[in-house]
Amino acid sequence: MNDEPETQSPRVGPITVESDWITTVGALVVFVACCVLLLSEVEHFLGGRFAVPHRPHYDFFSIFTKVYEVIAGVLCFTVALNYANKPVKTGLVLMGVNLTGAALLSYLPLSSAAFRLAVTSRSIMSQIALTIFILAIAQWLRSVVKRVSSAGPRGGDN
């Protein structure tokens, strides 16, 4: 007879994952992507090189990019409405404002000082949202990935 439960968590060496592997690997990929984006955003912020929205040129790529920014922003707002975790909800709203703001800044006639302020605030919102996402994913990974200590008796092969 086997005393262990039938639904045992997958194990790799001394690590047990209490979730399916696809979700865990997907979370790790998103975690790494958010870290890279955050580092890039901080480097651009410290160097004064912001992602500046350009005026649309009315070619396919420019129009596609603006439509993507609006759709992604609206999607962030929609997911935020249905999400229960307050910090992640805040991050999604910040990212939605960031994305829709990028599309709006392309069409609004602003002075250079107002434009610089808007681009700086977009960068700060993006950094805060990415930090929230990183912390939420790290917290989830910490709750799912466990180290297992060998509780069995140690000794030689007698």
Give per-residue pLDDT as tens, 131-157: 999 999 999 888 887 777 665 445 444
**The predicted structure's pLDDT at residue 7:** 52
32 located within any domain: yes
Report if residue 118 sits inside a domain.
yes
90, 118 contact by CB (below 8 A): no
pTM for this predicted structure: 0.75
Asked if residue 96 has pLDDT above 90, the reply is: yes
Domain for residue 112, yes or no?
Answer: yes
Cβ atoms of 110 and 11 within 8 Å: the answer is: no
Contact 83, 89 (CB under 8 A): yes
Answer whether residue 77 is part of any domain: yes
User: Is 74 a member of any domain?
Assistant: yes
Structural domain of 96: 21-147
pLDDT the model gives residue 93: 94
CA–CA gap between residue 107 and residue 55 (Å, rounded)? 7
Residue 7 is assigned to a structural domain of this protein: no
- 10 in a structural domain: no
Tell me whether residue 9 is in a domain.
Answer: no
For 3-49, the pLDDT digits (tens) are 544 455 555 567 777 778 888 889 999 999 999 999 999 998 888 77
Q: How many domains does the chain have?
A: 1
Query: Out of 6-15, 41-50, 79-88, 101-110, which region has the weakest mean confidence (pLDDT)?
Result: 6-15
